[in-house]
């Protein structure tokens, strides 16, 4: 049996006297899009910190492709909140940053990234600076910088949270189309129930801190979901909201 791409088993994490994660177990299969939802302060971002090695769990296991994940491994491509583009670097050089950190020369990294600009809706903007781009274009550049690293898995931390409502909806639809085309393995942290339902194969809903998995939802609808299955999507959204508002029910 093929192991899960990512498996977390009974993770626990405290920061001093603050109990953040009580017992977190979840999995992500290769090519699957999984989201984590939960109330503010439930520890969603702490899970990403554990995965990226920023902090260590107090108990539990983290497995990648069936093997223990260690802090020295660099197996995830991480896209943080906001685009985190460097204002003094042109867009072409912002998108190559992760490859340069891996040791590629700037010339080699540019040759690898440039053919993807058209697919990401950035053709013609290679030599622009971040301040010259719209919020949505900046986020597409940030995602390009993330996926071009070709890591086994993408970690997305509320990537569209800072955008206005219309741009956020456009970016969610764009990401849904791109994921359908490429089938990246993705773990998304989000506060947006509609975003999670639109994009995800499965959704984990966390309880309030100290966090446990309150419920796991499957979204058994084909991708992409724009304009189709609206009634079914709305029903799943309602179930998730009920769980968030009444976690003990």
Q: List 189's β-bridge partners, or say none.
A: 36, 157
pTM score of the predicted model:
0.91
Instruction: Scan for tokens 């639809």, then name that residue.
Output: 173
Whole-number Å distance between alpha carbons of 216 and 210: 17
In the β-sheet with 67-68, what is the strand arrangement from edge to edge? 67-68, 59-64, 6-15, 18-28, 211-218, 202-206, 33-37, 186-189, 153-157, 76-79
Q: What is the pLDDT of residue 165?
A: 85
Neighbours of 12 (CB within 10 A): 16
Cα radius of gyration rounded to whole Å, the chain = 18
Confidence of residue 77 (pLDDT cuts 50, 70, 90): confident
Is 226 in contact with 173 (CB distance < 8 Å)?
yes
**Domains plus CATH for the chain?**
1-33+46-76+168-188+200-237 (3.40.50.300), 79-150 (no CATH)
- The percentage of the chain sitting over the pLDDT mark of 90, rounded to a whole number, equals 49
Q: What is the pLDDT of residue 71?
A: 66
Confidence of residue 169 (pLDDT cuts 50, 70, 90): confident
| Residue 244: alpha-carbon gap to chain centroid | 20
Report the range of poorest mean pLDDT among 108-112, 121-125, 191-195, 242-246. Answer: 242-246
Picking from 216, 243, 247, 212, the residue whose alpha carbon sits closest to that of residue 24 is 212
Give per-residue pLDDT as tens, 119-160: 888 999 999 999 999 988 998 999 899 988 888 899 999 888
Q: What is the pLDDT of residue 217?
A: 94
């Amino acid at each position: 049996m093929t192991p899960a791409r990512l498996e977390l088993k009974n993770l626990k994490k405290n920061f001093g006297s603050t109990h953040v994660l009580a017992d977190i177990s979840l999995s992500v299969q290769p090519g699957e899009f999984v989201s984590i939802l939960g109330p503010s302060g439930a520890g969603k971002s702490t899970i990403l910190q554990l995965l990226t090695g920023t902090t260590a769990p107090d108990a539990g296991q983290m497995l990648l492709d069936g093997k223990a994940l260690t802090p020295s491994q660099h197996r995830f491509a991480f896209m943080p909140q906001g685009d985190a583009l460097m204002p003094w670097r042109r867009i072409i050089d912002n998108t190559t940053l992760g490859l340069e950190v891996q040791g590629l020369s700037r010339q080699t990294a540019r040759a690898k990234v440039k053919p993807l600009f058209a697919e990401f809706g950035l053709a013609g903007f290679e030599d622009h600076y971040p301040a010259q781009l719209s919020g949505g274009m900046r986020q597409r550049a940030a995602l390009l910088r993330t996926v071009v690293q070709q890591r086994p898995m993408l970690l997305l931390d509320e990537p569209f949270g800072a955008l206005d409502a219309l741009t956020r909806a456009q970016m969610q639809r764009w990401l849904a189309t791109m994921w359908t085309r490429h089938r990246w393995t993705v773990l998304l942290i989000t506060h947006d129930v509609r975003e999670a339902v639109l994009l995800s194969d499965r959704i984990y809903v966390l309880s309030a801190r100290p966090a446990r998995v309150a419920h796991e939802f499957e979204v058994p609808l084909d991708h992409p979901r724009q304009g189709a299955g609206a009634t079914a999507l709305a029903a799943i959204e309602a179930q998730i909201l009920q769980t968030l508002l009444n976690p003990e029910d």
